[in-house]
């Protein structure tokens, strides 16, 4: 049976058919027909549109929605600056492999290439930061493009897809089959049958190792394989280190969990990597922030690498055994075929290091020690609390000191390192989980990047909690200038910050400032007990740094240490 409707109406119908009920965007001339369809077409009534106050906020909110829910995120913007403002959010999703569909309006087809008002070649501009781009040039192609876009974004290794749609295509009418568009799978995953011979080799290699170590990343989360991963870890009792994106794949208090590795990783994790004789890399890409000096990363270890994307295997570090494809079947095979490993001495050494180098939160200062604050927040917040970070020192403190029990509760910009990510990502998470507590932990630099989204919190009456850790500096840049540029501080002074409490109250958000150790409990109580949005402004010493730190050019065992100021 065929149905006739405008392209814009079909776009809304296709979004709904993909199971999406919440989209984030900002209207404008070239996308106006789609916004008309939101209210004019019956399907639009079933989709909740969230008006963010900047297109970058909309893209990052959609990404936060996807990251916290496991569903595809959708953002919409107009042509020109609307589309270019989406690009940071699209790139962020690409770097962290988050399923996102970005829909942009484009000038009418006859005007493309004429430098028309608000015309930008967003198709070309985004090619390096998407899994796939579409420019719809014929209304008859729209149904298939919409179906393919959602298939590509969610299949295999997830990622963002851009659909650029000229205004005349949105307004044109066409007939389509109700079951239109064949799903096309552009997945990078292997379609080969599981190679049991390789799995048997991997099992034998693991059994013969004396100091095996599991190195887990965000791929475990994206594959929805967290339960399978935990079963494998507990069946073998092999110690585990995680990347920033892998935090929560094992609960923070699991005795096998040595913590995050890398530049600001735990000493126990980094020493374990340096000493292991077999590294079982699962859903990781050997990122430079995790590996330090690559040539000296896990220098004594053979490598078994599992990843959905075969292009990642051997890209940076040669694997002795390569296992591309879906993670869950392989992890289940390992769980069934591995037990009673003779690694008790190794497990004891790893656990002793974890205990020996455990964090000391008793800093001898009258002011607020940020790691202590975050650890206290972790103890007092509900277990299903979603923490959304910005980027900088506070991001690393959260990774080090907040106890996560599930990876979807930790939202952090990993690959791109996007300042301004945290507040819009918290918006997306709150819409994905309306009954959960969502807390954005930000720095004073990052918070100013997308501060306009306080208006979105007000408009939708969202109970998001915000903690600003304010050292009146661009803290991470300041730390590097201090350590590696002979204390030549260049453009990191933010001592002219506005009054964040007054700003929050202007948006009808409760707020308070704390600056001493004795105020921490009151601040956290007010934050956690508030039934509405709340901003806690936390003033800390501008000289505070994140430790440990692996300096550039050194391996992960060569960590610098410091003390609380």
Tell which phi-psi region holds residue 88, choosing left (phi > 0), alpha (psi between -120 and 50) or beta. Answer: alpha
**What pLDDT sits at residue 527?**
98
Section 345-372 average pLDDT:
94
State the catalytic residue, choosing from 13, 16, 24, 55: 55
Q: Is 137 a catalytic residue?
A: no
**What pLDDT sits at residue 358?**
95
Section 265-293 average pLDDT:
97
**What pLDDT sits at residue 188?**
43
CB 111 within 8 A of CB 119: yes
Section 445-451 average pLDDT:
97
Q: Is 150 a catalytic residue?
A: no
Section 191-219 average pLDDT:
90
The fold adopted by the segment(s) 2-177 is Rossmann fold (3.40.50)
CA distance 424 to 418: 12
CA distance 401 to 437: 19
Q: What is the mean pLDDT of the chain?
A: 94
Q: Is 383 a catalytic residue?
A: no
For 351-365, 419-433, 478-492, 551-565, which range has the lowest pLDDT when averaged over its residues?
A: 551-565
- Encode pLDDT of 141-169 as tens digits: 999 999 999 999 999 999 999 999 999 99
**What pLDDT sits at residue 564?**
61
The CATH number of the domain covering residues in 196-356: 3.40.50.1220
Pick the closest to residue 196 from 386, 295, 359, 323 (CA basis): 323
State the catalytic residue, choosing from 87, 419, 476, 559: 476
Q: Is 317 a catalytic residue?
A: no
**What pLDDT sits at residue 349?**
98
CB 190 within 8 A of CB 156: no
Using N-to-C axis directions, what is the helix angle for 81-95 and 55-69, rounded to 10°? 30
Identify the CATH homologous superfamily for domain 370-539: Thiamin diphosphate (ThDP)-binding fold, Pyr/PP domains (3.40.50.970)
State the catalytic residue, choosing from 5, 32, 71, 118: 118
Dump the DSSP string for 36-78.
Answer: HHHHHSGGGGGSEEEE-SSHHHHHHHHHHHHHHHSSPEEEEE-
Section 109-123 average pLDDT:
94
**What pLDDT sits at residue 100?**
98
> How is the chain split into domains, by residue range?
2-177, 196-356, 370-539
- Encode pLDDT of 232-248 as tens digits: 999 999 999 999 999 99
Confidence band (pLDDT; 50, 70, 90) for 3? confident
- Encode pLDDT of 526-561 as tens digits: 999 999 999 999 999 999 999 999 999 999 999 999
Section 98-125 average pLDDT:
96
Domains 2-177 and 196-356 fall in the same CATH topology = yes
Scanning 276-321, the segments in alpha helix (DSSP H) are 288-291
Res 408 pLDDT > 90: yes
CA distance 301 to 274: 8
Res 477 pLDDT > 80: yes
Confidence band (pLDDT; 50, 70, 90) for 2? confident
State the catalytic residue, choosing from 131, 167, 317, 330: 167
CB 307 within 8 A of CB 215: no
Q: Is 449 a catalytic residue?
A: no
**What pLDDT sits at residue 194?**
73
State the catalytic residue, choosing from 45, 117, 383, 484: 117
Res 225 pLDDT > 60: yes
Identify the three-state secondary structure at position 449: coil
**What pLDDT sits at residue 562?**
86
**What pLDDT sits at residue 181?**
44
Confidence band (pLDDT; 50, 70, 90) for 45? low
Res 443 pLDDT > 80: yes
């Amino acid at each position: 049976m065929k149905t006739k409707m405008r392209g814009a109406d079909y776009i809304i119908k296709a979004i709904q058919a993909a199971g999406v009920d919440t989209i984030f965007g900002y209207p404008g001339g070239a996308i106006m027909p789609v916004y008309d369809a939101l209210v004019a077409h019956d399907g639009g009534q079933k989709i909740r549109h969230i008006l963010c106050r900047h297109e970058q906020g909309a893209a990052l909110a959609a990404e936060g929605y996807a990251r916290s829910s496991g569903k595809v995120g959708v953002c919409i913007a107009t042509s020109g600056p609307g589309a270019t403002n989406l690009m940071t959010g699209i790139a962020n999703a690409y770097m962290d492999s988050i399923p996102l569909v970005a829909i942009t309006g484009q000038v009418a087809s006859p005007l493309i290439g004429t430098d028309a008002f608000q015309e930008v070649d967003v198709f070309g501009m985004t090619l390096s930061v998407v899994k796939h781009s579409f420019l719809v040039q014929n209304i008859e192609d729209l149904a298939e493009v919409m179906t393919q876009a959602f298939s590509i974004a969610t299949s295999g290794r997830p990622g963002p897809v851009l659909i650029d749609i000229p205004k005349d295509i949105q307004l044109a009418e066409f007939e389509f089959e109700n079951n239109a568009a064949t799903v096309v799978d552009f997945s990078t995953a292997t379609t080969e049958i599981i190679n049991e011979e390789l799995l048997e080799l991997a099992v034998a290699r693991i059994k013969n190792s004396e100091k095996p170590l599991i190195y887990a990343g965000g791929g475990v989360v994206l594959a929805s394989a967290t339960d399978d991963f935990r079963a494998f870890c507990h069946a073998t009792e092999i110690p585990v280190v995680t990347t920033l994106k892998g935090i929560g794949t094992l609960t923070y208090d699991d005795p096998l969990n040595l913590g995050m590795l890398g530049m600001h990783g735990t000493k126990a994790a980094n020493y374990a990597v340096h000493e292991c004789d077999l590294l079982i890399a699962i859903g990781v890409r050997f990122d430079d922030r995790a590996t330090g000096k690559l040539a000296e990363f896990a220098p004594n270890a053979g490598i078994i690498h599992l990843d959905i994307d075969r292009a990642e295997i051997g890209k940076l570090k040669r694997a002795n055994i390569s296992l591309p494809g879906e993670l869950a079947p392989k992890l289940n095979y390992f769980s069934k075929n591995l037990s009673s490993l003779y690694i008790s001495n190794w497990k004891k050494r790893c656990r002793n290091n974890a205990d020996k180098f455990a964090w000391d939160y008793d800093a001898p200062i009258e002011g607020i020690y940020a790691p202590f604050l975050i650890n206290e927040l972790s103890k007092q917040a509900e277990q299903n609390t979603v923490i959304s970070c910005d980027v900088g020192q506070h991001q690393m403190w959260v990774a080090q000191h907040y106890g996560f029990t599930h990876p979807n509760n930790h939202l952090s910009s990993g690959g791109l390192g996007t300042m301004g990510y945290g507040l819009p990502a918290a918006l997306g998470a709150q819409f994905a989980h309306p009954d959960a507590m969502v807390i954005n932990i930000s720095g004073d630099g990052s918070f100013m990047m997308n501060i306009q989204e306080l208006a979105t919190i007000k408009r939708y009456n969202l109970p998001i909690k915000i903690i600003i850790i304010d050292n009146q500096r661009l803290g991470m840049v300041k730390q590097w200038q201090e350590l590696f540029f002979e204390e030549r501080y260049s453009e990191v002074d933010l001592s002219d910050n506005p009054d964040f409490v007054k700003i929050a109250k202007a948006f009808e958000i409760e707020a308070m400032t704390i600056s001493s150790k004795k105020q921490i409990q009151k601040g956290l109580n007010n934050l956690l007990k508030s039934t509405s949005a709340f901003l806690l402004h936390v003033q800390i010493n501008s000289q505070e740094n994140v430790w440990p730190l692996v300096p550039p050019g050194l391996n992960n065992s060569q960590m610098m240490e410091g003390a609380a100021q």
